[in-house]
Amino acid sequence: MAGGIPTSLHGIYGIRPDPMANLRFDNSFLGALPGDPDHRNSVREVRGALWSEVMPTLVAAPKLLAHSPEMAAILGFSEEEVVSAEFAQLFAGNRLVDGMRPYASNYGGHQFGQWAGQLGDGRAITLGTVIGTDGAGWELQLKGAGKTPYSRHADGRAVLRSSVREFLCSEAMHHLGIPTTRALSLVTTGEDVLRDMFYDGHPELEPGAVVCRVAPSFLRFGHFELPSARGEIELLRTLVDYTIDHHFPELKSASPEHRVGDWFAEICRRTARLVAGWMRVGFVHGVLNTDNMSILGLTIDYGPYGWIDDYDPDFTPNTTDAQGRRYRFGWQPRVAYWNLTQLARALSPLFDDVAPLQAGLDAFAATYAEAERGNIAGKLGLAECRDDDLVLMADLQSWMHAAETDMTIVFRTLSDIPADALTADAFADAHYDAAKRDAAAERLQAWLQRYRQRIADDPLDAASRRVRMRAVNPKYILRNWLAQRAIERAQQGDASGIGELLDVMRHPYDDQPGNEEFAGKRPEWARDRAGCSMLSCSS
C-alpha cells in the first residue's frame, strides 16, 4: 500500500486516468502513526494501532443527489467533474484514484456516561487527505461505505434519511458560522438497507446512501481515550505529538514542558466556543458521547440531532436519550465539560502534575462564560453584556419556555423591529399555543418595558444595533420538519428539495424574498411526527 492502491485492485476498482486523478494527497496520518498489521476486513479488537486498511464495498448503481459547490471548489472539482458518472462512482466507494489509501480509524469512547471500550469507524472509511485549492489538507471520508473491522454487528451502511440530514446540516452549520465538518456529496447506492428505525421490532427496507464528509481531521476525544485506557502510553504520546504538529502549528514552538498542557487548554477553549455557537442558534447535537467530540472543536457526527423550535432547555431529539435526557439542549455546556474531563483523564499519564489539565478545564469555563456574554450582547443588540443583562436574557428565555414560543422567530423579531416599537403583537407568529401565550402575556409586557429601558441606556444607534443582531440571529435554520419534507420527497424520487433547502441554508442571516415558508415555525402536523420531533440513532 505504500505507493497508493495495490495494483491487484486496479481492475476491481476501475482506476483509470481522468481529471480527478490530479488530486494531490497527503496521507501523513498513515505514514506517521502505526497501522493494523492484519489486513483482513473482519470485526476484531485492534491493539497497538490507530488505523486499519479497508476498502469500500462496491454498490450497485451510484447516483449523485446533491453536492456542496463551495466544498467542491475548495477541493478543486469543476462543476463538469461533479456531475460526471465518475464522480458518483468515486464518492460511492466504487472506484479510487491513485494516492487514495482507504482506512478506518481506531478509537474508543464514553457513551451516555459509560466507558464503551473500542468503537472505531464502523461505517466511515477515509479515502485520504487531499490538498485543497486553499493549500489546506482536507480528509475525505465516506460515511455508509460498508463494513470495517470496527463495525461490530452492523452492516457499515447508511440510509437515505440520515444521509440527507448529515449532508444538509454539515453545510447549514458552516454557513451559520458554527465550526463543523463539511459535506462534499450525497450519493444514493441503488441498494436497500434494512433498518429498525425506532428499535421497536419493525425493521423496514430503506434506500441506501453515502455521504462524503470533509474535515481537516476527524480525530475525536476517543482516539486518545482508547490507548490510554489500554495502557498504550507511547502510542498515546505519539498520537498527541502528531496531532499538535499537524493540526495545532501555533504550538510547535511551545516549550516541551508546556506543549501538551497548552494544547489541552486550546481544545477546551475551542470546545467552549463551539458549544456556545450551538446554544446561540438553537442546535441540539443529540448524542454527545466522547467519540462524537472533535479534537479540533468541530461539530462532528450528525446523527439524531435537532433544532429548538419552541424554546425548551429540556428538549432532546434522540429517542435513546428520551428517559434520562442527558444530552438535552440546556445541558450541552456541562456535558462538554464532562467529556473534556474524560479527555483530561486520558491524557493524565503524560503529566507529572494534573495542574495543567485543571487549568485547561478552567479555560473552558472562562471561555464559555465569555462566549455566552457575547451571545447575549449580540442577540439582544447591546454594545456589551453587563451583569444585569444575564438576568434580562434568562427572564426572556423563561418567558419563551412558559409561552411556548419559537426561539428563532423571537430573536429575529427583536432584530427587525426597533425596541421603542416592540409590542406583544409583534411576536404573534412565534407562538405555538394560544392558552400559554395568554397566560404569559403580562410577563412579556414587563420584559419589553425592561428591554426598552436597557436599550435607551446603550450607546449603539438603531442602525448599528440592527446590523449586530441580524448577524447572530438567523432567519433560517435547518428545522427538523424542513429536512424531513426534503427526505420524503427524495424517497419518492424527487431530490430537488434537498438542493432547494441547501440553497436557502447557504444564506441563513439574509432576508430571502420568496422563501418565507422556510422561516416559518413548525407546523402542527410535525409536532409529534417521526423525523420532526424525535429521531433515533438507527441510520
Number of domains in the chain: 3
CB 214 within 8 A of CB 128: no
Q: Is the same domain home to 37 and 85? A: yes
Q: Is the same domain home to 489 and 428? A: no
- Beta strands (DSSP E) in 349-497 are none
Residue 243 lies in a domain: no
Q: Is the same domain home to 387 and 508? A: no
Specify the pLDDT at position 538: 54
- Beta strands (DSSP E) in 282-393 are 283-284, 306-307
| pLDDT tens profile 10-56 | 445 544 446 576 789 999 999 999 999 999 999 999 999 999 999 99
Once rounded to an integer, what is the mean pLDDT over residues 66-93?
95
The DSSP H or E segment spanning 131 is strand 124-131
| pLDDT tens profile 481-538 | 999 999 999 999 999 999 999 999 999 999 999 999 999 999 999 888 878 777 766 5
Q: What are phi and psi of 105, to 5 degrees?
A: -95, 160
Joined together, the cell numbers standing for residue 289 give 458521547
Q: What are phi and psi of 283, to 5 degrees?
A: -95, 135
| Closest by CA position to 512, among listed 538, 483, 481, 474 | 474
Angstrom distance (rounded) from CA 233 to CA 230: 8
Q: Is the same domain home to 86 and 151? A: yes
Q: How far is CA 249 from CA 294, 298, 504, in A?
A: 17, 17, 35
Selecting among 36, 291, 301, 310, the annotated active-site residue is 291
Q: Is the same domain home to 394 and 457? A: yes
For every residue of 197-243, DSSP letters joined together read TTSSS--EEEEEEEEEEEES---BHHHHHHHHHTT-HHHHHHHHHHH
**Mode of pairing for the β-strands spanning 137-143 and 204-215:** antiparallel
| Closest by CA position to 174, among listed 32, 298, 76, 310 | 298
Question: Residue 156 belongs to what domain range?
Answer: 7-218
Given a cut of 90, is residue 71 above it in pLDDT? Answer: yes
Average per-residue pLDDT for the chain: 93
Angstrom distance (rounded) from CA 393 to CA 375: 10
| pLDDT tens profile 409-441 | 999 999 999 999 999 999 999 999 999 999 999
**Between helices 407-416 and 387-403, what is the axis angle to 10°?**
120
Angstrom distance (rounded) from CA 362 to CA 526: 41
Known active-site residue 458: no
Residue 257 lies in a domain: no
Residue 202 lies in a domain: yes
What is the 8-class DSSP label of residue 49? -
Q: Is the same domain home to 464 and 488? A: no
Please state, for a pLDDT cut of 90, what percent of the chain lies above it: 88
| pLDDT tens profile 280-326 | 999 999 999 999 999 999 999 999 999 999 999 999 998 888 888 99
Of 218, 248, 270, the residue that ends a domain is: 218
CB 531 within 8 A of CB 197: no
| pLDDT tens profile 168-207 | 999 999 999 999 999 999 999 999 999 877 667 778 999 9
CB 260 within 8 A of CB 350: yes
Q: Is the same domain home to 18 and 129? A: yes
